[in-house]
Amino acid sequence: MTGFSTSGRGRLYDSITDTVGNTPAVKLANISPAGVTVYVKAEFFNPAASVKDRLALSIIEHAERTGALTPGQTVVEATSGNTGIGLAMVCAAKGYPLVITMVETFSVERRRLMRMLGAKVILTPKAEKGTGMVRKAKELAEAHGWFFARQFETEANAAIHEATTGPEIVADFAGHRLDAVVTGYGTGGTFTGISRVLRRERPETKIYLAEPDAAPQVASGEVQPRNPDGTASASHPKAAAHPIQGWTPDFIPAVLQDGLDHTPPDAVLPVSGAEGMDWARRLAAREGILTGISGGATLAVAMKLAAKAAPGTVILAMLPDTGERYLSTPLFEAIEPEMTEEEREIMRSTPGVQM
């Protein structure tokens, strides 16, 4: 066996929240084009299996420090799932009740995970889109005096990626080439935070922002309607339904807009849901790495860049979460629960137990 260590982590942990961050960058050994190196930053190594664990912890601890959140106060947030799961983990560890609002179309695994972690999940109608779930969360916060996490606007969002995710990338690639980083966006916190760091520390590294081809909100250049507090006042003109769960609500979040304004990407690149699912399946079958549709979509963009890149190019793709969060989605539709004919042939190849 190679690559194993028996030294542990060299410390004991007082809380599950202490294990957030320090996720690995993993080289793809089997599916990268010849002469080009592609790494993935595996955010599913966070304790609740997504990049949003960083955001959840940052929101709660920032609110504790500023006095915006008091002991025992209920937290409420609108989410497509991963932020809610992260918040449920953090709130369970810290003793805060949590109420989540979520559009009814998102995968059932996500609601079950949040409820397993002690949260209450309020579903909002599909027709109301992301703006509807945000509006409901705001109403509940105002009506009951709850703390509204405001992941799409809070300064604690990009700040945690500037403090942790970006420096981790810089540290991991210290002394090594890094030509490009590819990330998608939900709130935009990952993009905005790591862009601040890379523009300072690795200015030679290009930053690519991926978004669904069916909803080219950023690429369109059209302005997002906003309220004075930065929240979206209406859906973006280019908002549209797409299968990449966790990416692009029907508005451009204020957190993302800050990054677009101050550390803009080198390019905004489109990707389809079908491409995302295809590359997620390839990554699992050829590299043994499970990611969701959004991770597959980020990888799809990275692979398009890699296919045209000069020999020696090094690219890093962000993988936001794990594939197990998508069992009830189209990502797994082609994965049969019953034995295939090939599997039956293997079964029949020996005379023992038959079905």
Read off the pLDDT of residues 249-261 as tens digits, 9 standing for 90 and up: 999 999 999 999 9
Read off the pLDDT of residues 316-333 as tens digits, 9 standing for 90 and up: 999 999 999 999 999 999
The verdict on whether residue 291 carries a ligand-binding annotation is no
Beta bridge partners of 75: 98, 147
252 part of a folded domain: yes
Q: Is 294 a catalytic residue?
A: yes
Domain that holds residue 207: 16-46+165-332
The verdict on whether residue 329 carries a ligand-binding annotation is no
The verdict on whether residue 187 carries a ligand-binding annotation is yes
Looking at the structure of the chain, the number of domains it has is 2
Are the C-beta atoms of 249 and 172 separated by less than 8 Å? no
Q: What is the mean pLDDT of residues 142-159?
A: 97
Q: Among the options 50, 107, 235, 294, which is catalytic?
A: 294
Q: Among the options 52, 129, 136, 304, which is catalytic?
A: 52
- How far is residue 126's CA from residue 128's CA, in Å, rounded to a whole number? 5
Report the predicted TM-score, pTM, of the whole model to 2 decimal places. Answer: 0.94
30 part of a folded domain: yes
8 part of a folded domain: no
- How far is residue 125's CA from residue 130's CA, in Å, rounded to a whole number? 10
Half-sphere exposure of 93 (CA within 13 A, CB side): 21
Query: Does one domain contain both 34 and 76?
Result: no
Query: Does one domain contain both 138 and 199?
Result: no
pLDDT of residue 314: 98
The verdict on whether residue 230 carries a ligand-binding annotation is no
Query: Does one domain contain both 130 and 267?
Result: no
Half-sphere exposure of 33 (CA within 13 A, CB side): 17
- How far is residue 280's CA from residue 300's CA, in Å, rounded to a whole number? 8
Query: Does one domain contain both 111 and 187?
Result: no
- How far is residue 135's CA from residue 177's CA, in Å, rounded to a whole number? 44
Query: Does one domain contain both 68 and 88?
Result: yes
Q: Which of 21-25, 130-134, 232-236, 300-304 has the lowest mean pLDDT?
A: 130-134
Q: Is 233 a catalytic residue?
A: no
- How far is residue 178's CA from residue 246's CA, in Å, rounded to a whole number? 26
